[in-house]
């Protein structure tokens, strides 16, 4: 191989004469190279994720002007306000209902898609994935316009069917529902595509065996499909819980927290307190309130992923 001859470097020579120091040097060189290769990654993770995290903890113990350490007072003050309790409650309501709906719609869509002939499947999949492709901040603008109080095109359609107009973003409960609708619209395709990939990996023989044993379609779904997909379902749901819980774009564009701060999530409230009102330490405290739950979700998700990797290995 003359072309590869040019690649020859000291390495093979060291391998040919197996003296201890040479091998040692090789090993050292290998780990040095590996370290250098991962160094940029370490710098990014260390400098822009780990350090900011501890810095956030430190920040959250300062007073508003950031000159005095006030311990946990920011947290205590937050827990004393009704608005913050509302934020906690609204974040949980938003994340849980949106994720459940996304998971359900995604599953049913994937299930139906899976039954189509392969050629048509591609086309449908392409269409159904569109909400996921448009940057959410921009598609939410479209939703905002569809929810507009006087020009709402959704209300126009409702009126055609003799349903009275809905004050989408004006009433607290409708505003909450609107935010959830948009999030479900944006996120359901993701569940669909994850489930579809999982459905394709269930071997056909299992269904054939079930059919021979006289299983109905429902039983096949209940005793073959769901158990086979359990792992991917839990991974997807946990993952979605994390990002939905920490969602920012939709509320910011659609309601900006209103009416009367009743649709704020942790992220939008942290933004309002920390950046718009300039109370950086308290904003940091609001964000950090998300951490325990996120850590819990992340722990279970990591366990699921490791399990899955082991099963597949």
- Which parts of 38-77 interact with another protein (CB under 8 A)? 38, 40-42, 44-45, 48-49, 51-53, 55-56, 59
Contact map string, positions 266 to 295, toward another protein, x by CB under 8 A: xx--xx--xx----x--xx--xx-xx--x-
Integer-rounded Cα radius of gyration of the chain: 26
Cα-flanking dihedrals φ and ψ of residue 7, to 5°? -80, -15
Which of 175, 229, 253, 257 forms a contact with another protein (CB under 8 A)? 253
Q: Shortest gap between Cβ of 33 and another protein (angstroms)?
A: 5
130 binding another protein? (CB under 8 A): yes
Q: Which of 79, 104, 134, 163 binds another protein (CB under 8 A)?
A: 134
- Specify whether the CB–CB gap between 184 and 108 falls below 8 A: no
DSSP output for 7-76: T--HHHHHHHS--HHHHHHHHHHHHHHHHHHHHHHHHHHIIIIIHHHHHHHHHTTB-TTSSSB-TTHHHH
Q: Which of 70, 86, 96, 146 binds another protein (CB under 8 A)?
A: 146
Q: Residues 206, 215, 243, 262: which binds another protein (CB under 8 A)?
A: 243
- Is residue 133 involved in binding another protein (CB under 8 A)? yes
Find the binding residues for another protein in span 100-119 (CB under 8 A): 105, 108-109, 112-113, 115-119
Asked if 1 touches another protein (CB under 8 A), the answer is: yes
Which residues make Cβ contacts (< 8 Å) with residue 178, sequence separation at least 6?
143, 147, 168, 169, 254, 255
State which residue, 96 or 298, has the beta carbon closest to another protein: 298
Closest CB to another protein among residues 80, 204:
204
Part in contact with another protein (CB under 8 A); list of ranges 78-86, 163-171, 221-229, 241-249: 241-249
- What's the min distance (Å) between Cβ of 172 and another protein? 22
First to last CA, the chain: 35
What's the Cα-to-Cα distance from 193 to each of 108, 121, 157, 198, 306, rounded to whole Å?
11, 12, 30, 9, 21
Buried b (16+ CB within 10 A) or exposed e, 295-305: eebeeebeebe
- Looking only at residues 159 through 178 of this chain, which bind another protein when binding is defined by CB under 8 A? none
């Amino acid at each position: 191989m003359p072309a590869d001859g040019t690649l020859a470097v000291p390495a093979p020579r060291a391998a040919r004469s197996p003296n201890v120091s040479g091998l040692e040097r090789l090993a050292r060189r290998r780990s040095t190279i590996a370290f250098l290769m991962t160094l940029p990654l370490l710098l990014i993770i260390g400098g822009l994720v780990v350090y900011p995290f501890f810095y956030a903890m430190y920040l959250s113990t300062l007073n508003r002007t950031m000159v005095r350490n006030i311990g946990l007072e920011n947290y205590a003050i937050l827990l004393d306000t009704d608005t913050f309790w509302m934020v906690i409650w609204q974040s949980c309501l938003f994340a849980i209902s949106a994720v459940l709906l996304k998971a359900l719609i995604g599953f049913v869509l994937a299930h139906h898609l899976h039954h189509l002939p392969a050629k048509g499947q591609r086309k449908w999949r392409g269409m159904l994935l569109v909400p996921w492709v448009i940057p959410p901040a921009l598609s939410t603008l479209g939703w905002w316009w569809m929810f507009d109080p006087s020009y709402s095109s959704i209300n126009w359609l409702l009126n055609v069917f003799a349903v009275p107009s809905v004050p989408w973003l004006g009433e607290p409960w409708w505003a909450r529902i609107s935010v959830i609708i948009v999030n479900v619209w944006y996120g359901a395709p993701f569940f669909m595509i994850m489930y579809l990939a999982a459905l394709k990996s269930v071997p056909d023989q299992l269904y054939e065996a079930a059919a021979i044993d006289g299983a109905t379609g429902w039983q096949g779904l209940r005793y073959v499909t769901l158990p086979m997909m359990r792992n991917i379902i839990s991974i997807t749901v946990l993952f979605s819980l994390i990002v939905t819980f920490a969602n920012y774009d939709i509320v910011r564009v659609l309601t900006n927290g209103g009416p009367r701060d009743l649709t704020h999530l942790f992220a939008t409230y942290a933004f309002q307190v920390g950046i718009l009102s300039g109370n950086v330490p308290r904003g940091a405290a609001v964000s950090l309130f998300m951490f325990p739950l996120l850590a819990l979700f992340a722990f279970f998700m990591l366990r699921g992923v490791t399990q899955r990797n082991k099963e597949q290995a």
